[in-house]
Structure 1
Amino acid sequence: MDRLHLMTVFIAVAEEEGFAAGARRMGMSPPAVTRAISALEQRLGVKLLQRTTRHVRVTEAGQRYLDDARRIVAEVDEADEAAAGINATPRGHLAVTAPVLFGKLHVMPGIVDYLQRYPDMEVAALFLDRVVNLLEEGMDVAIRIGALPDSAMKAIRVGEVRRVLCASPDYLAQHGEPADPAALRQHTIIAASHVSPSVEWKFAGPDELQGIRLKPRLTVTSNDAAIEAARCGLGITRLLSYQITSELSTDALRIILPEYEPAPLPVHIVHRESKYGSVKVRSFIDLMAEHLRNNLA
């Protein structure tokens, strides 16, 4: 069998974690997929997949081969697109990841626009509040908030967001507005973070960032929950500026102590280094960059 075809079948089975699901993705029969994997393992002389009654998992050798196979297949696809010409219409599958609320508010409208422009494209959107490894998890593009570590990834800066303190007008009318970060210790604090007995919020000082350790009365693990608690007048919370745009526009929440805000966080579109440059990735990045720059200005 063709080696590239075997790699493609292996990727499908590994990512779908099953022979039947991999077969459906490839448009093949399950026996044909089983023969392809067996042929690949025989060619390589190693076990790539661990089969159980319910799941299929990659072995340690299989994970290394999966990473290489994804890169090779992607480069072949890009080479095909390059040969077809720069004006080729984007087609195929694109995997995108972003933080949950940012993805909902800012990335999803861009994805919808992209799919409406390019009917031959499919997009899988993975919205998670953690850093997703593009190579290991098969992602093509990521939208990241915050400083980027050094890596082989390419990054395009498209805007920035602020870390802001906010509370409802009713809460501030009843309890008063803190004059400085230290005064937060006298207020009810809502923390959107991992559940812990205390949090430390950083604020801009005369010379450097200064930390204020606070004991939240309410700690939640989702930004939506913190926003709702603040809207209901429970207390003061800290969020990213984009997360409360609608609440600010309706005066449901107000920003406080803006003069103490730390430096804004950059927003980047990140993608894997590519020898040829994929038409589908380039077109998505161009559209998303324009969309985010217009909305994060």
Structure 2
Amino acid sequence: MNELDRLEAMQMLLSAVDNGSLSAASRQLKIPASTLARKVADLEELVGTHLLIRTTRKLTLTDAGIAYVESARRILQMVRDQERSATGEFTAPRGELVITAPVQLGRIHVLPVVNRFLADYPEITVRLLLSDRNIDLIDAHADLAVRIGELPDSSMIATRVGALRPVVCASPDFLSGLGPLTHPEQLAQYPSVVFNSPYLSPWRFRVPPKASVLTLNVAPRLEVTTPDAAVSAAVDGVGITYVFEHDADEAIANNQIKVLLPEFEIAPVPVHLVHVSRNLMAVKLRHFLDFATPRLRQSLSRFGKPQASRHS
């Protein structure tokens, strides 16, 4: 097996691991499953040990396989970096920039920044991946992520660009049929619209005087996968919903929904730009960070503040 064949086999192995099976990897790579299986077997023969344990239901790594896959990821990333360096991406702002962001935040705040950036940098193209799950930067070969929430300790470099309040809200017509709301625990009694999001599930509130956190698991009358759908349903009076303030910004400004129980809100949730820590950063990424950071901070600057001060 020559060096090119070995790199190709490494990529096939990583695809099989990431997809959970050889058949899924073969579909993603658009090659016969028999070809992929043979390449992985050749790789195992080369290293002199089994890397995978194959069963009818799943694929798991051996101990040697775990260590080999970690090394293979680093090697392939180094190869990609060298290729990009050879094409000038580390000396001039050019090439493809892959950015991930939550759907609504990406559409409302990130996309306008990307559009202006593209106008200033004609040799750069952008692939914007919008998803409400945290996409792994290395697995997706992404350069940058816009992340909502506290970040785990890692080798990633993070730049804070703002914060968002999680708010519970409902339409005035819906609220007119309820009694006075004085505590978050009362919300469990009423119909709810749940935005199925890792950032906002379960509903959380800060209860004075000790500021303990109350976790509320509500039974949804309606469950949706996008925050704009949750807000729309709340405006139509389906129930109470829990979203980030920027998701409901227009509806709040138009008095279509009201923010409830602001005195019980948890602390605003931070928003960061996150990228992999590397000794050599592509110029395209450095230029985007310099361009996007102040603009996103400006775009998000009116959020993350107490309700009274925000509208003053």
Flag whether TM exceeds 0.5 (same fold).
yes
Instruction: State the alpha-carbon separation in 2 of the partners of residues 294 and 35 from structure 1.
Output: 53
Q: 1:107 aligns with which of 97, 106, 110?
A: 110
Structure 2 match to 1:30:
none
Structure 1 match to 2:245:
241
TM-score (norm 2): 0.69
Q: 1:190 aligns with which of 193, 200, 211?
A: 193
Q: Does 1:123 align with 2:127?
A: yes
In the alignment, structure 2 segments of 5+ residues that lack a partner are 17-23, 302-312
TM-score (norm 1): 0.72
User: Do the aligned residues in 2 keep the contact of 1:157 with 1:268 (CA within 8 Å)?
Assistant: yes
Query: Between Structure 1 and Structure 2, how many residues are aligned?
Result: 286
More displaced 10-residue stretch of structure 1: 249-258 or 173-182: 173-182
Shift of 1:44: 4.5
Structure 2 match to 1:3:
3
Q: 1:261 aligns with which of 259, 265, 270?
A: 265
Instruction: State the alpha-carbon separation in 2 of the partners of residues 13 and 280 from structure 1.
Output: 30
% same residue:
31
In the alignment, structure 1 segments of 5+ residues that lack a partner are 25-32, 52-56
More displaced 10-residue stretch of structure 1: 251-260 or 105-114: 105-114
* DSSP 3-state at the match of 1:294: helix
Shift of 1:88: 0.9
Counterparts of 1:279-294 in structure 2 under 5 Å? 279-294=283-298
Shift of 1:265: 0.5
Instruction: State the alpha-carbon separation in 2 of the partners of residues 218 and 99 from structure 1.
Output: 24
User: RMSD of the TM alignment (CA)?
Assistant: 4.3
Instruction: State the alpha-carbon separation in 1 of the partners of residues 103 and 173 from structure 2.
Output: 28
Distance 1:162 1:37, change over 3 A: same
User: Do the aligned residues in 2 keep the contact of 1:164 with 1:255 (CA within 8 Å)?
Assistant: yes
Counterparts of 1:90-239 in structure 2 under 5 Å? 90-92=94-96, 94-116=97-119, 117-123=121-127, 125-129=129-133, 131-175=134-178, 178-184=181-187, 187-193=190-196, 201-211=204-214, 213=216, 215-216=218-219, 218-222=221-225, 223-239=227-243
Distance 1:58 1:175, change over 3 A: closer
* DSSP 3-state at the match of 1:191: strand
Instruction: State the alpha-carbon separation in 1 of the partners of residues 67 and 292 from structure 2.
Output: 32
User: Do the aligned residues in 2 keep the contact of 1:88 with 1:279 (CA within 8 Å)?
Assistant: yes
2:175 alignment partner AA: L
User: Do the aligned residues in 1 keep the contact of 2:204 with 2:266 (CA within 8 Å)?
Assistant: no
* DSSP 3-state at the match of 1:164: strand
* DSSP 3-state at the match of 1:157: strand
Structure 1 match to 2:309:
none
